[in-house]
Amino acid sequence: MKFRIEKDTLGEVQVPNDKLWGAQTERSKNNFKIGPQASMPFEIIKAFAYLKKGAAYTNEELGVLSTEKRDLIAQVCEEILEDQLNQHFPLVIWQTGSGTQSNMNVNEVIANRAQLISKRQIGEEPILKANDDVNKSQSSNDTFPTAMHIAAYKILIENTIPSIENLKNTFKKKSKDFKDIVKIGRTHLMDATPLTLGQEFSGYTQLLENGLKTLKKSLESLSELALGGTAVGTGLNTPKGYAILVASHISKFTGHPFKTAPNKFEALSSHNAIVESHGALKQIAISLNKIANDIRMMASGPRSGIGELLLPENEPGSSIMPGKVNPTQCEALTMVCAQVMGNDVAITVGATQGHYELNVFKPMLISNFLQSARLLGDACQSFNENCAKGIEPNTKRIEELVTNSLMLVTALNTKIGYYKAAEIAQTAHKNGTTLKEEAIRLGYVSAEDFDHWVNPKEMI
């Protein structure tokens, strides 16, 4: 492999000739060999491309950057957004807590790529300088949190929320399809009074609706950008009007309603918007975990379990037991939920590390956030297509379980009183008989009254 010499304020560094990054990227690559599989998410790299392009347009408009330099920066940013330069972003999330090295990685790639576009050699007099031109009016301390918000907002709007909405709509349709199917309810995992399968699925619909409402509300905070605060929030070295104008350019380029954060000191030192939004993701994960567990338990069997639901049979379930099929989509979804809940703990801890004017857990915070958002979106899509849409009721088994349930005796409470009704249920359970048989034998209810009063369809 051939190398070239790159320089920064600490001196010279050897960089592979075929890579566009510079000295600061190479130092980070060599100094932080921690979990090489934990690369900085490309959502962040692309978010940087949007903000660098926005900054270039703003700087040019405010008279501190030439049109030629603006256009070069914008051209390279478009190449980054089109995945043409992915190999030039090698850094991991385990680096400086401000994300400085990833900011410089982007600056260096843009500057060196501009050299090649301009028919110049890397190492010659640069047409763009990474710090002075690409990073003009910026600091890593305000660019990285800006990239965090751009990436978080985009993945929620473009991936996570639509997938959850689709699953919610499937449950809503199932609740209508199943509205007349009376089944036994369960509390404490024990038999309870009846409800319809449609009512049960309407609960799942509402759980996701509530979570989506919370998540969508949190988007307002994520739409606020720190850019313009520079090092500590004062906006040192930015031209007048920069913060508002750069947010408007980013909004235009991304197609999302970003605006400048009202207080840059808060925007740099705290990440409550990430905490809030991920809290909504955790809420949805908790709901999805409950839903997936309910569905797989109701589908347990096929002959020795509850067996009220029939799930799509997607793949063989055992390497030794022929014919076995497992609720794999439910298992995958609940594993994702566990990961999201774990990520929330890491985000909670990371958000506490806002010392004075800067939070220094930024890369870890956004990496966990993006993983949760991506996992939930993908898992909901998979669960919807490969499980939820194909769920069918096992009406014969549902009717059998309703008929045999002792908790139908609850309908007699207002007719003969709680204690006599309890005696009927306990005696029937002890003797292995039906409620009707024991009600008549004990002399508390006639056969005609029992049939009239104990009707599952009238108990929902």
- Structure-token match 């996701």, residue found: 208
319 is in an annotated binding site: yes
**379/164 Cα distance (integer angstroms):** 9
pLDDT at 36 over 80: no
- pLDDT, tens digit, 9 for 90 and up, residues 287-329: 999 999 999 999 999 999 999 999 999 999 999 999 999 999 9
- pLDDT, tens digit, 9 for 90 and up, residues 69-100: 999 999 999 999 999 999 999 999 999 999 99
Average pLDDT, the chain: 97
Would you state the pLDDT for residue 246? 98
324 is in an annotated binding site: yes
pLDDT at 33 over 90: yes
Q: Which amino acid is at 446?
A: S
**255/361 Cα distance (integer angstroms):** 28
Closest CA to 253 of 82, 78, 107, 370: 78
Q: How far is CA 188 from CA 185, 211, 309, 408, in A?
A: 10, 24, 20, 17
pTM above 0.85, yes or no: yes
Catalytic residue among 88, 137, 175, 188: 188
Catalytic residue among 66, 118, 318, 446: 318
Q: Is 452 a catalytic residue?
A: no
Q: Is 188 a catalytic residue?
A: yes
96 is in an annotated binding site: no
100 is in an annotated binding site: yes
**317/312 Cα distance (integer angstroms):** 12
Q: How far is CA 299 from CA 158, 294, 303, 336, in A?
A: 32, 9, 10, 20
pLDDT at 235 over 90: yes
**3-class DSSP assignment, residue 85:** coil
- pLDDT, tens digit, 9 for 90 and up, residues 399-420: 999 999 999 999 999 999 999 9
- pLDDT, tens digit, 9 for 90 and up, residues 354-369: 999 999 999 999 999 9
**137/130 Cα distance (integer angstroms):** 12
187 is in an annotated binding site: yes
141 is in an annotated binding site: yes
Distance between first and last Cα of the chain: 74
Would you state the pLDDT for residue 1? 84
Work out the percent of the chain whose per-residue pLDDT is above 70. Answer: 100
Q: Do the Cβ atoms of 192 and 407 come closer than 8 Å?
A: yes
- pLDDT, tens digit, 9 for 90 and up, residues 157-204: 999 999 999 999 999 999 999 999 999 999 999 999 999 999 999 999
325 is in an annotated binding site: yes
**331/335 Cα distance (integer angstroms):** 6
pLDDT at 37 over 90: no
139 is in an annotated binding site: yes
